[in-house]
Structure 1
Amino acid sequence: MVKMAESKMEEFFTEKDVQMYSRGDVLRGRVLQVNETGVLVDIGYKSEAQMRRTDLAPFRNQEIAPGEEIEVLVTYIDEDEGTVYVSEKQAIYEKRIGELERIYHDRGYVKGFIEDVVKDAGYHVNLNGIRAFLPGSHLGNDLPADIGKLRGQEATFAILELDRREKNLVVSHKRYLQDQERQRLDQIFSQLEVSQVVEGQVKSIVEFGLFVDIGGFEGLVHRSEISWKDLPAPPSSYKVGDPVTVKVLDFDRKRQRISLSIKRLRPDPWIDICERYPVGQVFSGEVVSITNFGAFVRLEPDVEGLVHISELSWGYPEDPHEVVQVGQTVKAVVLDCNKGNRRISLSMRRAEPDPWALVEEHYPQGAVVMGAVTKLTDFGAFVQLEDGIEALLHISEMSWEHVARPGDVVQPGDQISAKVLKADGAKRKIRLSLRALQEDPWHKFLQNFQLGSIVEGPISEIKDFGAFLKLTDEVEGLIHVSEVTDERIATPAEVLKVGQVVKARIIGINEEKRQVRLSMRNLEVQEQQEHALEEAGPSGFTMRELLKGKSFEETG
């Protein structure tokens, strides 16, 4: 009788215990059976709890098997059928969602493993057993997009969305990176002070300056802050990767900008520049750059003076490279110092004696000199006699013959001998002559020909006003169109041609202009005059007497 009562009491308590289970309870159970449709779990109920395969933990390391103990959450109790439905996945979710909620509200971060890809959307992430969604746009730029490389990779995430009821959990690795960068910049800017000197490294070089990394953030050294001198671009001496010391000029955390300076690490050298480089003093410096208008000479760091091309030498260089080269050490006189405009004008030539001071003594009139032809112009050639001394050889002084172009007689680089016509130190001019060293063909002509002489030679040139007859290699005479023939013609070309050999008589000579007038008319009259001269014997006229105006009657 007593045993029957105890048996009914145990059955009563068991049924009561089972009835205490409710939806949402988390229980421990043992797997009894696993099949294609689901899993049977012993939770101490009068019948085994049922669990669908979709309710298994999402990130299991191994397949579930009979005998395994697991935690499950009661999702539904069918009291009519006496069946309890459970979920391992929801048990894990409920157990860990509280911690994730705390992290979400505290704006913290959570670690997880990227497990799989969601096509055209993103990735599944395992947050210690809870599945979260990672949008593709929130992957971050430090991770590869290829799931083959991502799968199983651990990363840190910020929680973007968490809805416990809807079981919606969205994370972002990109947001985590942005937060870390923001914290890093906050720390960098919090440690900065204006005028602070810091060490950095050149990260990139652009036309307007240098970007320098000063501990995880790049500040700009504008080209105007590299040197105390004006720079059109950063000097080529700076290379990417170079260590560099800089001074903080200003910073703006909101705009994320830091302005740096290199030149302000040292005093401005232009403050007392004119006291250190007074006008008239001679200084040594290095040629650092050459332009078409002159050369820049470095007197000290960040201080350069300009030697204009006209002040490079006592000569007349067309290109500064003819006088100086980059890297050459030179001496120069300060011509002007302008502190306001930060300019110093220098002269190299005035640091040397002026070669023109004694030019009249060194190159007296009539002296024969040697020199090199430096350049040609339309009106002549310039000849260098020594450094800083150039003389002009005018085209009219190149030859006793007519010269059409200076290049027909001399070329740049030719070494020539010439006679000094005049040297003027005050005007810095010397005139030379080549023809003065040659025999004057005009004098020779006057000795061999006289007024009225019959001459013969080729026609060298024909113009509308007349034809030129070559009398000697150097002297030509003009046959005016009216003196070509007794007949009326419009141009000599009607009866003459170049190269044709003709006879003519000399009817006029202008010794001052070195001109000879000829006539092809009345040659018979001329022959009679020549016969009379022959009969006059030794008392006949000379050419010079005829040029002075004497006549046959005056000598009779």
Structure 2
Amino acid sequence: MKYYFYKLFKKSLKKNNLTNGTLIKGVIINITNNYVIVNAYLKSEGKIPLTQFKDEKENFKLDIGKQINVTIENLENGLGETLLSREKAKHIEAWNDLKSAYYTGEIIKGMISHKVKGGFTVDLYFIRAFLPGSLLDIRPLQNISHLENKELNFKVIKIDNIRNNAVVSRRAVLEIEKNLIRDKLFSNMLEGQILKGFIKNITKYGAFIDLGGVDGLLHITDILWKHIKHPSEVLIIGDEIFVKILKFDRDRHRVYLGLKQLIFNPWFQITNKYKQGSITYVKIINITNYGCFGELKKGVEGLIHFSNIKIKKKYINFLKLFKLNDIVQVLIINLDEKRHRISFGLKLKLFNPWLKFISTYKIGDCVLGYIKSLTDFGIFIALNNSIDGLIHISDISWFKPIEIMKTYKKGFEIKSMIIFIDFKKERIYLGLKQIDIDPISFYLSNIDKTTVVTGYIKEINKKEIIVELAKNVIGTIKTFYYKNLKNKYLHINDKILANVINFNSLLNIINLCFFNPKKNIKQKKTNKLKLFFENKI
């Protein structure tokens, strides 16, 4: 009889596929201090430790007769007892709920426990899921302390049944919430509606305003009626402002806002006071490379294009004609009240600065100026606001002009002499070396070709011998004529006598030859010259 009962029991287990790890239902029939007795309709009741019945808040919710899910740990442990587990059953239940949420798109709750490589670990009660850092929020967060130890909403985006792990996203939930808020806002949005928002970001072309779920663009031209160079001149990030909806696009989710539309339009009925073709006064408020802007009245600005400025002068830098806050008389060329555009013309009755300069200065006069720029070929000097002069590199110094030019810097005040005026091209050429006496000209004025000059050898090379005749006066002796002369007779700083052959005005160098006391002896015969050098004259 016992054997027959055992066979029936085994048969029922196979029929129900009851094996270790199977999830089954049971009923709580008793609760002791340490165990919960559960009847799972098996060979015997199972004892489950009381600690396995704690919920996510560490509380016990147990009632006799309550039906629960458990897993089979062991159908028979050898002592005739059936071992059950509530802990593993809760894990299977949670995993099944997680898979269900993945397939249905349901939002689940969880808590960020700690940070790991590439993201965070999220506790979904009895299961841990991975949250990539890029899916934490819509925008990157530098600090997440306000999200720690706080129940948050997540969406399951990936399930791995083999490895039993899951990937969740908080960003997906926030985007869903944002889309719901955005759709609600767009459903109630009207052009001309006035809304309150916060300045979220400022760029060079405008500002983005958070309207409570939707960002709108406040373009720089819609901030004030007058011209501003940058929105930060008026707006500050974080400030609360009221804006007007100019237009919006539901399909592209774009909203265009205006701030100046909430204040009085200074262009309103402007044609009643100002007429096209009339003459008026404006204040210069901005200068560009194509013209300048003049303020007709507060909030009303117009362009004075340089093509509309008439002046009897061919070459002039218009950027130097005006200064900010200058008051000038203009002619209203065009006035468009609807498009808020106005164009001015200006006829300058200015004297020609070039004519004034050439009537004041002449060649040979010394003038003061500032170094405007340095180039490879010379220095440009600013003599006044409209006149510039050039000091060519050859006119910087009588001696070593390249080295001396390197000592000058932009902005230095410098005194120079006018050495040439080109009236056709309106150019002025200046010189620095001309202020001082030319040492070579002064030296040559006191000698002739018959004069014997004295100098000191400063350099000896294969082609020539460099001789210093006086301060900043250099002469050269070509070694070709004295190729048989041994170097032992020539030394640096030796004093020599020489005759002047000619003067090279291009290089500012005097060509010399060794002095020959006997005119009938040619320079190529060097026997007398050897004797001459041995005496060290």
Q: Return the TM-score normalized by structure 2.
A: 0.48
TM-score when scaled to structure 1? 0.47
